[in-house]
Structure 1
Amino acid sequence: MSKAQTSKSAQHPRSQGSQPTANRNVPHRVRPFEVTQKLPRLQRLAFGKALAPSRERYDQLVDALWQGDPPMDCLLDWMMAEDSRNRKAMYELALKEGINKVENAPTELKTFFAMVDQEPVWLDRELLEQGVSVVQSLGEFGLYIMRDQALMVGYLLSGFNHALVATGALNKGASQRTGETLKWWMDCTEHGGMERFGEGFINTLHVRWVHGMVRRHLQSRKEWDSNEWGIPANQTDMIATYLAFGSVLLLGVRLGGVIITPRESRAVMHLWKYAGWLMGVEEQWLVDSELEGFRLLRHTQATQSRPDWTSKELGQALSKEPFERVYPWKNKFPRLHKLYLKYEYHSHLSLTRLFLSREQMNALGLPDWVLPWYPAMTTPMRVARELYTRLGPVDRKKLERKGRKQQRYRMQAVFGERAHGIIKPDKNHPAHL
């Protein structure tokens, strides 16, 4: 199959779902099935053979590289057919104020919002809000794990990177990109944020629209090779993304000395299960447990190519992001501020080193001489704090408020003097309208 033929067929992922892998082009990014069965001894002992994908699961995830988000893709077919700016404005009005606010709303718009406005039968609002409480109580360490484990380690999976690079991520700057992601994360983890008109709900559907536009338009660009990567913003990559906010976060904070109870684990996973559903991840890929999520995340790695130049470019850019932060006291103590940013740069590298080998650090363009001194220094203090707060007469709500204050402070520093907001595609972005 030629590149042109592949790109043409990939533009309509809704029609691809039932085709078996054997009868379809397999993107070059996919690792051979036999390779995915070779697990490190420690992983095999800790998680069992199920950590390696079955042949059926492997084929499903390879197929999902050609599958998009049917509801959003259908909506975009209508939106882009004619008068796209006006139709986009109708979408924004329905999103922010409700479909009833759209005069003579078209069927396509009604159909989409009938789906997202109807809560899934499995949604437990009380459990979701508990998940929000857990995430807020993690404070700045939760942000460190998301940045230094989930995001940085994710750059090793180069099959995922190319859509990000094609959107101009390298030109935009790591600070802006990190800030936009952080703002969305904060909105989703605000109490009431995932209610119908909460900022988390609204911004998740905005990100879903951006993903749909990227999927629709990026394939027509010469830099996109469908033979190599499948379609942009595909189901497999969306699965890996939503699981990073749940299973990866929980694993990371546990390794850092934080106690997570089974109920708290389920609550955090439930929060991101709903976020994944709103993002367009299909029901079959939504999981309830931390272990189930970690196994599925490991299975998605079967479709990911080895680190390449994008891994190094993105990794180096993110590593230097702390130097762009601006804290409120910068002008009062400029030298101290500069020294503190150096400390943050090295502490982030140190935490990343806890999760990566020397070879992997090299693949990301990071110094391999770094030692995990930061987690070694701070983990005992977190363990002591956790034991005290769990066993002592500590107000958990007070701990949650303190943690949230830390998270807001860090987000403010990442944005600096820029306005706090999520992605707004510019003229060079595939989602620009």
Structure 2
Amino acid sequence: MTLEMAAAGKIPGEFRYWDKVGAPRVQRARQVFRSVFRFDPQPSEELVRAFGEAYYHADPVAEAFVDEVYLGSAGPKAGRAMLDRALAHGVESVADAPPSLIRLFEEFETAPEWLDPELVALGAKVFRRWGTSVFSFATTSTLEMYSESSITKPLSYAGGYAGDKAHKRQLETVRFWIDVSEPGGLDAGARGRQTAMRVRIMHVFIRRKLMQRPEWEYDAWGVPISIGDATLTLMGGSVVPGLALWSLGYQTTVREIEATLHFWRYVGHLLGVQPQWYPRDFRESVQLMFAAFVKRAYTAGEDGEELVESYLPAFAPKPGTPWRKRIRDEINYRVQIGYTGVWLLPSTYSRHTMPGRFPWVLHPIVQAPIIFGAETLRRTIPGLDAMADRVQRHRREQWYRNEVGDRAAEFSPVEEFRR
């Protein structure tokens, strides 16, 4: 089965929105949303259908390059070398560059018509302001979605987020978040922009490999790492933390949330995630998330359980660690337990084998007034906003280095699946 064989209008069998949207509990939640946000969170039928169909859409431009080079006669190593040279010196520096590479970089280097560089810069700054808290929140929100086979199966088959490898892949994701959100991180030649392309190719490689496997349930799940699921990931770095991090004291305005939406839309564009229906404002983003939660099928089973239960142990101190790092690791491990205990739904936490939440769950609650006070000062005293940005940039880089040392993130395509 190839990606081009998806029939127009096809929606995965596990996209359960229409089966569940009329349920009393969903409509009660809709009323609560309406009272809080002052608008109806239930999206239009047009948006829901476009969202559902996106599970059969992916990245044909990058897929053509992967098919021709990575999975063709050249092989993955030669493909990686070709890509690295084009990123470092321009596609014109690649001798006998294949047409698929030229087309890929034409798209990659052409700014979309909707792009607002100032809004992208503001969105990146807001994301930086959330510091390391957003790393914990974004991953925790993903744990909640590990109930869905379309998200869980690619991660489980590849093995990157399960068992002993979970820590490495999680920290690669953090490196990606840091790179793309640094000032100028998405400019031509910047590390964030190059990271986006490497992650894009990694996703395509996994998708192509999975589509060859007989156990991939195309009719039920759509294509692996689809536009539908990838767009939800972008929401996990914008509107979702923009709302949820108020619980820690961060004072993010609707305008700032919309700036993060625009920032992550551009990151998505560079990643090959380019839906025409991407939310344009706060209202549309809330409506998309409403549809995402309603449509869930909860079929991931043991694979989802493994991914959820691998997350927190990945931060546990390792035997033989020098004592200073071990102290930092012990503290960070319990901080992660606290964040996860606060943000993961209690029913989800209790359903899995997880570390005890108490007393670590009190940590986010205790620090909220401190962060709220600091945010108030930042918003009112000239000069503190720029200082806060510098401090958060330093903190998140130090946090990352404590976890990985001097090891560089690889973003390498998975060549063999664990099963």
Root-mean-square deviation (Å):
2.8
After superposition, where does 1:254-265 map in structure 2 within 5 Å? 254-265=246-257
1:323 is matched with which residue: 316, 324, 336?
316
> How far did 1:333 drift?
4.2
Deviates more, 1:278-287 or 1:241-250: 278-287
Q: Is the 8 A contact 2:180 2:186 kept in 1?
A: yes
Structure 1, 150-159 or 313-322: larger mean CA deviation? 150-159
Correspondence for 1:58: 48
1:238 to 2:230 alignment? yes
The residue that corresponds to 2:374 in the other structure is: 385
Residue number among 271, 277, 287 corresponding to 2:279 in the alignment? 287
- Residues 371-421 of structure 1: CA deviation (Å, up to 9, x unaligned): 7412221111111111122223443221111111110111112214x6121
The count of corresponding residues between Structure 1 and Structure 2 is 408
Structure 2: distance between partners of 1:171 and 1:177 = 11
Pair 1:71 & 2:56 matched: no
User: Conserved in 2, the CA contact under 8 Å of 1:326 and 1:413?
Assistant: no
Kindly provide the CA deviation profile for residues 215-262 of structure 1, in whole angstroms up to 9, marking residues without a partner as x. Answer: 111122244232432221111111111111111221222222111234
Match of 1:419 among 403, 407, 415: 407
Q: For structure 1, which segment, 34-43 or 78-87, has the greater mean C-alpha deviation from structure 2 after superposition? A: 78-87
What is the rounded CA distance, in whole Å, between the counterparts of 1:305 and 1:324 in structure 2? 35
Q: CA deviation at 1:165?
A: 0.8
Q: Which runs of 5+ in 1 are unaligned?
A: 1-7
Displacement of 1:322: 2.0
| Equivalent in the alignment of 2:353 | 365
Residue number in structure 2 paired with 1:410: 399
Q: Of residues 291, 303, 308 in structure 2, which corresponds to 1:310?
A: 303
2:236 counterpart SS class: helix
| Matched residue type, 1:314 | L
Aligned with 1:403: secondary structure? helix
**Aligned match for 1:397, one of 386, 394, 410:** 386
Describe the shift of the 1:142–1:426 C-alpha distance in structure 2 as closer, same or farther (beyond 3 A).
closer
Which residue in the other structure is 1:30 paired with? 15
Maintained 8 Å contact 1:30/1:304: yes
Amino-acid identity (%): 22
- The unaligned stretches of length 5 or more in structure 2 are none
Structure 1 position 212, deviation (Å): 1.1
Distance 1:87 1:406 in 2: 35
- Give the TM-score normalised by the residue count of structure 2: 0.87
SS at match of 1:424: coil
Deviation readout 1:135-176 (Å, 9 max, x if unpaired): 22222323332233x333333444311111111121552211
> Over residues 102-127 of structure 1, what are the superposed CA-to-partner deviations in whole Å (9 max), with x where a residue is unaligned?
23433322222111111112222222
Cα distance change on mapping 1:326 and 1:287 into 2, 3 Å: farther
**8 Å contact kept, 1:325–1:414:** no
Counterpart residue type for residue 302 of structure 2: W
Partner in structure 1 of residue 200 of structure 2: 208
Amino acid aligned to 1:319:
L
Q: Flag the 1:48–1:230 CA change in 2: closer, same or farther, 3 A.
A: farther
What TM-score, normalized to structure 1? Answer: 0.85
> Aligned-pair distance for 1:36?
2.8
Asked whether the equivalents of residues 181 and 422 of structure 1 are also in contact (C-alpha less than 8 Å), the reply is no
